[in-house]
Amino acid sequence: MASLFHALLLLCFAYGFGLLITSVRAAIPTTLEGPFDPFTAPFDTNLRGNAVDLPDSDPRVRRRVKGFEPEQISVSLSSHFDSVWISWITGEYQIGFDINPLDPTRVSSIVHYGQLRYPMSYEAEGYSLVYSQLYPFEGLQNYTSGIIHHVRLTGLKPSTRYYYRCGDPSIPAMSQIYNFKTMPMSGPRSYPKRIAIVGDLGLTYNTSTTISHLISSKPDLVLLVGDVTYANLYLTNGTGSDCYSCSFSDTPIHETYQPRWDYWGRFMQKLVSKIPIMVIEGNHEIEDQAGNQSFVAYSSRFAFPSEESGSSSTFYYSFNAGGIHFIMLGAYIAYDRAANQYKWLEQDLANVDRSVTPWLVATWHPPWYSSYKAHYREAECMRVEMEELLYSYGVDIVFNGHVHAYERSNRVFNYTLDPCGPVYITVGDGGNREKMATEHVDEPGNCPEPSTTPDPYMGGFCATNFTSGPAAGKFCWDRQPDYSAFRESSFGHGILEMKNETWALWTWYRNQDTEKEEGDQIYIVRQPHICLGQQESPEQGHSDI
């Protein structure tokens, strides 16, 4: 009798738990229910379209160390869980008409680390460098950085917290003790709990709100999908501008104010000294200078797992975070089928084992699928070259920035709704100084002239009129496109949570809301059993959300 009672009790519990799961799924939509009718959230006119930069007098961006003590400390991932990079800067930058770069061999690049605060059992040594931003023209000031250090820690255990100090113990000039947690071992049931996705950050008061909310989400990893500091919205004398082109027309080269990079590194240290950050370049990182050099600050200040992932460039690389394989692509370097990036991407995708890393997530800066007027179809040449390859390997989600608003797509391929296409999410709403994107191309008078759409840094002209579908014969839709499921002009950030090998929860948070209030939320569900290129994992289809 007792066994029968227990069996009935277990049955009731299972039934109740099933109802709970059903109600959760009913409350939060899933991509299985899509495609969804396009929706536009009304614009809140109380939001500031132009954010205000933190001034150099703000204590959060001031230098707080002395001599060659480390500052701007950050953690980034290698290609697998057993390795991370620690980066920092020692010494002061110089800006002016007569600069004298520091000697990077003057200070060692040492990290002490271990699973205990005391004693730290291991030591690793890395390399250091100094970069300059040069404008050999009358009236323009030059810049040279402090000494930038990158040290790779190896032999780490998965899902383990490590403590570390960095610097040069011989001076002595060592940092305080910081800590980070390694990614879980790759596997179909093994994931970091929360991954923060943010784009187009800059360093404004709105950025401050974004980062505050992001920290409250307690992420295990941060992805920054381009446009980091917006240092190129400043002249070399520190005078700022609210737009990329309006204040630079008379200068011999588009200037930047490199100290904004140092300000950003100091501001972000509280987060990225313990939570790994992975960055891909945006157009504001181009930063042309003398000698036809560009992207020098971006390539110098961050550590990238390029070599570990078989890439020869800081502009594209890949890495694993548990059962997710992330592909970081460069939109401002050659991407055509004869280019090194494309060949690397083919090889990287071919090496992905979906039974080990079921989720395939790609990021780059300018979106392929956006219905905002700003940057509309700007990256069309990149889409033409790469979309079919990504689709054939079953990429699940794509994250972009560039457009200063939020937009989530239905599953789409070649502008056609497709249950096996990726979900494209634009999160260029981090809070930067430039104006928020509020106009849509489907609104009267907003469709741009096609010849004005290409970005000169991204190749030729590929955006022509649509040849099929509801917008056939037109360059823009006359209503919100079918591929656009949800769009809203607000600052914010997103959190990605993989629940298992087929279910992921995506949540977008708006800055103007409370820190726990969702602006948009959906379960993104993989269907490897029906979609080409998505290898079925051993436990495919099982869900325990």
Enumerate the active-site residues: 375
- Contact status, residue 303 vs residue 309, Cβ threshold 8 Å: no
d(CA 266, CA 259): 11
The Cα–Cα gap between 135 and 141 comes to: 7
- CA quadruple 488, 55, 375, 413: dihedral sign: negative
Closest listed residue to residue 358, CA positions, set 502, 523, 182: 502
Instruction: Round to whole Å and give the CA distance between 429 and 489.
Output: 8
Rounded CA separation 212/104 (Å): 34
Kind plus residue range of the DSSP H or E element containing 318: strand 317-321
Burial class, 450, CB count within 10 angstroms (exposed 0-12 / middle 13-18 / buried 19+)? middle
Residues 247 and 366 sit within 8 Å (Cβ to Cβ):
no
- β pairing state of 492-498 and 195-198: antiparallel
Task: Report the alpha-carbon distance of residue 535 to residue 354 in Å, rounded.
Answer: 6
- How far is it, in rounded angstroms, from Cα 209 to Cα 205? 7
For the record, the structure tokens of 224 come out as 């920054």
* 3-state secondary structure at position 345: helix
Which is nearest to 184 in space by CA: 85, 324, 322? 322
Nearest to 384 by CA among 399, 373, 368: 368
> Would you state the structure tokens that stand for residue 522, as one six-digit string?
């959906």
How, if at all, do strands 359-363 and 397-400 pair? Answer: parallel
Q: Distance of CA 485 to CAs 62, 158, 393, 508, 541, Å? A: 42, 37, 23, 14, 25
Per-residue H/E/C for 214-273: HHHCCCCEEEECCCCCCHHHECCCCCECCCCCCCCCCCCCCCCCCHHHHHHHHHHHHHHC
- Residue 143: exposure state from Cβ atoms within 10 A (0-12, 13-18, ≥19): buried
Dist. CA 99–CA 471, nearest whole Å? 56
Handedness of CA 514, 498, 390, 301 (dihedral sign): positive
The set of residues, in sequence order, having a beta carbon less than 8 Å from that of 326 and lying 6+ positions away, is 223, 278, 318, 319, 320, 361, 362, 363
